[in-house]
Amino acid sequence: MAGPARLLSTGELTRSKGRFGAVVAALALIVFLVLVLGALADGLFYGATGAVRSSNATAYAFSDDAEGSLIRSRLDESDVAAFAAAPGVEAAGPIGVLLTGGEGPSGEVDLAVFGLDVGGPGTPTTLVEGRLPDPGETGVAAVDTRLEDEGVTLGSQVSVGEVSVEVVGFVSDTAYQLQPTVWTSVADWRAMRDAVRPELRGQPTSINAVALVTESGASLADIAAAKPGTTVLTADEVGLAIPGVAQQKSTLNSIIYTTVAVATLVVALFFALLVLEKRELFAALKALGTSTGALGRAVFVQAIVATVLGIVLGTIVARLFGLIIPSTVPTLFRTDTLIQIAIFTLVAGVIGAAFSLRRIARIDPATAIGGTL
């Protein structure tokens, strides 16, 4: 862009730094807030759903009363065969889940123990170090990388009750309900479960759910029909069914949308005031032969520059803030969330500036002359 709009926008941006600084600061504050909220939302969501998102299973079968919760569901090992034979199912495998406190090399840790046929359905796909337990191997586990913070290394022992397993590998992004996971055999899982939940000892073949790898386009209802009293949900649905996840997501999203709306308002008000204050000047510039379009473009350029600066500044501050947040607060700064928020804010800035357009269009160049009108 060349011409009058550039001269006007850059002239004002460089010589009225104070007032543009104010709107940039306001926008930066908004972006900072939104990013931190977004990081919190992502931290909660990804921390709660990692075990499901990072697994190779495309769907899970639950008992009807479980409402999609792995913990609440009760099935039996014998059900696995029924699902494996169902139409559209490529593979099925048992899943046992235990949320519990355990012991690591440097003390107590919260754990989510997953018992499964490692390598079969439900196995994490995010191995970053070491190996997964071999099929049928017991006494070993792959664990979530979050346990590295608890002093766990390859070869460490992690125990629940009197039952311990040796860590042979690390998988990333597999937390479940914000607790680091331990991926081990059904037998080890059941031993741990029996150690902390003695009342379940009489159920030697019970599992929680069945992980499924389905063909694309398979009917989940048909699969569920293979075993009466069960429900089959996609992995995504299971993620959202984890207690609190859907609610947190929608609450934080509405806070984010509200904040972006505030950004629109801030930009709209700022430029409304700026245009109001410059009515006389704009009338004179129109009298000199400046089109409404050129004046509008100048305002848009200023809005975009101010918004981009606000986004950059807000992002820097948010990332610095991320460094000092205690690690117990689940935050996750994701690039795709950042891009999304940046685009939202930019659109908010442009929409905000657009409100001034009508006002600019209505300025009558005839009022420039005569002085008194």
Q: What's the CA gap between 267 and 91, in Å, rounded?
A: 55
Name the minimum Å distance from CB 359 to ligand ATP.
19
Nearer to ligand ATP, 273 or 373 (CB): 373
Q: Please list, residue by residue across 231-268, b when 16 or more beta carbons sit within 10 angstroms of its beta carbon and e when fewer do.
A: bbbbbebbbbbbeebeebbeebeebbeebbeebbebbb
Q: Which amino acid is at 124?
A: P
Name the minimum Å distance from CB 287 to ligand ATP.
15
Residues that bind ligand ATP (CB under 6 A): 370, 372
Nearer to Mg ion, 361 or 366 (CB): 366
2 binds, among ligand ATP, Mg ion, other proteins, none (CB under 5 to 8 A by kind): other proteins
| Contact window for Mg ion (CB under 5 A) among 124-132, 220-228, 291-299, 365-373 | 365-373
Name the minimum Å distance from CB 287 to Mg ion.
14
First to last CA, the chain: 34
370 binds other proteins (CB under 8 A): yes
Burial class (CB in 10 A: 0-12, 13-18, 19+), 11: exposed
1 binds, among other proteins, Mg ion, ligand ATP, none (CB under 5 to 8 A by kind): none
105 binds other proteins (CB under 8 A): no
Nearer to Mg ion, 289 or 370 (CB): 370
Name the minimum Å distance from CB 372 to ligand ATP.
6
Q: Which residue is nearest to ligand ATP (CB)?
A: 370
Assigned token pair, 167: 């860590």
Q: How many CA atoms lie within 13 A of 137 on its CB side?
A: 16
The one among 289, 323, 335, 362 contacting other proteins by CB under 8 A: 289
Q: What's the CA gap between 218 and 256, in Å, rounded?
A: 36
The one among 231, 259, 264, 290 contacting other proteins by CB under 8 A: 290
Nearer to Mg ion, 217 or 370 (CB): 370
Q: What's the CA gap between 117 and 91, in Å, rounded?
A: 11
284 binds other proteins (CB under 8 A): yes
Q: What's the CA gap between 26 and 41, in Å, rounded?
A: 22
Q: What's the CA gap between 222 and 348, in Å, rounded?
A: 46
Q: What's the CA gap between 240 and 139, in Å, rounded?
A: 32
Nearer to ligand ATP, 14 or 372 (CB): 372
Name the minimum Å distance from CB 30 to ligand ATP.
42
291 binds other proteins (CB under 8 A): yes
Nearer to ligand ATP, 217 or 370 (CB): 370
370 binds Mg ion (CB under 5 A): yes
Can you give the binding site for Mg ion, defined by CB under 5 A?
Answer: 370
Can you give the binding site for other proteins, defined by CB under 8 A?
Answer: 2-4, 6-8, 11-12, 14-16, 280-281, 284-291, 294, 365-366, 368-371, 373
